Amino acid sequence: MMTDSNKKVTFPDLGVSPEVCDAIRRLEWSSPSPIQREAIPAGLTGADLVGVAQTGTGKTGAFLIPCIDRLGEGRGLQVLVLCPTRELAQQVCDDATALLARPGKKVAGRVASIYGGVGYDLQVKALQNGFEIITATPGRFLDLMAKGMVDFENLGTLIFDEADRMLDMGFRPQIEEILKKIRGKRQTMLFSATMPNGVHDLASRITKNPIWIEIAKSGTKADGITEFVYSVKPDMKTPLLLHLLESEEWTQVLVFTRTKSGAGILQKALSRQGILTGALHSDLNMKQRTRALERFTEKSVRVLVATDIAQRGLDVDGISHVVNYDVPSDPEDYTHRIGRTARAGTIGTAVTFLASNDLGVFKSLIYHLGRDLGKVSLPEFDYIGSSQLTGENKSKSSRSAGGMGSKNADELTDEELRALLGG
């Protein structure tokens, strides 16, 4: 079933049952997103699906709503959702739990999340007790399969969420092993933000006569995102961020750094200035990461400094700004990062700090994105500052600036920057 993307439709219009619609209303999902308008009716028929849509467009609801609407009770594992990260697996688990909630009824015992970095006991118990929906990372789920803990007899739906990321992270062998154990007729859904050759081949092989739905081309952004680029010396990034955080409009801020050490250093620097700041990266254990995300979600911290571990699967309402403290090397990483704001039809701002040592990466980024990100300057900010670069680093920065002499990125004129970037 295809719907007119310009028509005002509701979840009941898509064939969603009254009980599930009630849960959706409690979640305050006002109307179906474009991917939901296309995927939900198709999913309710039991057809295989391949969905391509940018981050923040409601892909999770697109596959969970039809699964939950078709869910039977007390029959063991019926829906398996494979995710690339622990954070995403837990987020999908939370959304499924909310969609299953009914006034006066218990949801406990129906949904569980399985991932590495924590003990096995509760996860084994969930499988033994016949939980109906499992969200899992491939590695830990395969471990439990090898121990004979998984019964696929009643599995009706297999879902791959963020399939491109799973392959990027090297999960293909685990995926293949899981697929070998799943026999019989099932509905298969694969959702991805992009469709590179590897994902396309996987989708074609594991689905049967699928309905293909593509809402947006790779690299596009949500309509509500405004993008800015601030050119700045490498040693002035933190002062610039502190200056921007003085604005009351910067309410909930997600900052991406390239490295774990960089995230830790920046988090401490912001905290020393009295800014409530958390950190999210792979050097932290699962308990620490979960707590950091909870505090950010609860708005008990204003700023969350993260590596790309948070670019997917982090679904937090009200993120006003995303900051690329370091320019991402991959255009898809950029798209996923900025997709943490302006979710579900809201508005948000994405800011990128452009230092001289990132000019080459930035040029490649805008070439692949196919759009100008817009260089802006703050007249009131002291871009000069006191340089802390060593002679060696200054030399590297000059060379990275592509022949613009000894200038740092903040010192380039608009004309020079356009010339450097081929514009």
241, 358: one domain: yes
Q: Would you say residue 2 lies in a domain?
A: no
Q: Mapping DSSP to helix (H, G, I), strand (E, B) and coil, where does residue 263 land?
A: helix
User: What does the angle CA 296 – CA 298 – CA 300 come to, to the nearest 5 degrees?
Assistant: 70
Q: Residue 406 belongs to a domain with what CATH number? A: 3.40.50.300
User: What does the angle CA 264 – CA 193 – CA 423 come to, to the nearest 5 degrees?
Assistant: 80
Write out the E strands in 47-108. Answer: 49-52, 79-82
184, 229: one domain: no
Per residue in 342-371, pLDDT tens?
A: 776 788 999 999 998 898 889 888 877 888
Domain count, the chain: 2
Q: At which of 193, 214, 235 does a domain end?
A: 214
User: What does the angle CA 192 – CA 197 – CA 200 come to, to the nearest 5 degrees?
Assistant: 50
Q: Would you say residue 281 lies in a domain?
A: yes
Q: Would you say residue 5 lies in a domain?
A: no
Most confident of 98-102, 149-153, 186-190, 419-423: 186-190
Average pLDDT score over residue span 34-41: 94
For the chain, helix, strand, coil in percent to 5 are: 40, 15, 45
Per residue in 39-63, pLDDT tens?
A: 999 999 999 999 998 777 889 999 9
242, 273: one domain: yes
Higher pLDDT, 195 or 132: 132
83, 180: one domain: yes
Neighbours of 52 (CB within 10 A): 24
User: What does the angle CA 359 – CA 254 – CA 336 come to, to the nearest 5 degrees?
Assistant: 65
Q: Would you say residue 64 lies in a domain?
A: yes
Average pLDDT for the chain: 84
Backbone phi and psi for residue 39, each to the nearest 5 degrees, phi listed first = -85, -35
Q: Is residue 276 pLDDT above 90, yes or no?
A: yes
User: Which letter, b or e, does each residue of 381-416 get, where b requires 16 or more Cβ atoms within 10 Å of its Cβ?
Assistant: bebeeeeeeeeeeeeebbebbeebeeebbbbbeeeb
| Structure tokens, 315 | 């679904």
How many Cα atoms are found within 13 Å in the side-chain-facing hemisphere of 365?
Answer: 21
Q: Would you say residue 220 lies in a domain?
A: no
197, 251: one domain: no
Residue 30 is classified by DSSP as -
Dihedral of alpha carbons 214, 220, 226, 232, sign: positive
Which amino acid does the sequence have at 373? L
Q: Would you say residue 97 lies in a domain?
A: yes
Q: Would you say residue 4 lies in a domain?
A: no
394, 312: one domain: yes
Per-residue pLDDT at 375: 85
204, 250: one domain: no
| Domain, as residue range, for 45 | 12-214
Q: Would you say residue 1 lies in a domain?
A: no
**How many angstroms separate the Cα of 300 from the Cα of each of 252, 266, 281, 285, 293?**
10, 18, 19, 20, 10
Cβ 244 vs Cβ 214: under 8 Å: no
127, 236: one domain: no
371, 247: one domain: yes
271, 408: one domain: yes
Q: What pLDDT band is residue 215 in, cutting at 50, 70 and 90?
A: confident
Secondary structure string (H, E, C) spanning 136-173: ECHHHHHHHHHCCCCCCCCCCEEEECCHHHHHHCCCHH
How many Cα atoms are found within 13 Å in the side-chain-facing hemisphere of 292?
Answer: 24
51, 181: one domain: yes
Q: Mapping DSSP to helix (H, G, I), strand (E, B) and coil, where does residue 375 land?
A: strand
Neighbours of 68 (CB within 10 A): 23
Q: At which of 214, 246, 263 does a domain end?
A: 214
337, 357: one domain: yes
Q: At which of 214, 233, 264 does a domain end?
A: 214
CA 380 to chain centre: 34
Average pLDDT score over residue span 12-28: 94
Report the alpha-carbon distance of residue 45 to residue 313 in Å, rounded. 27
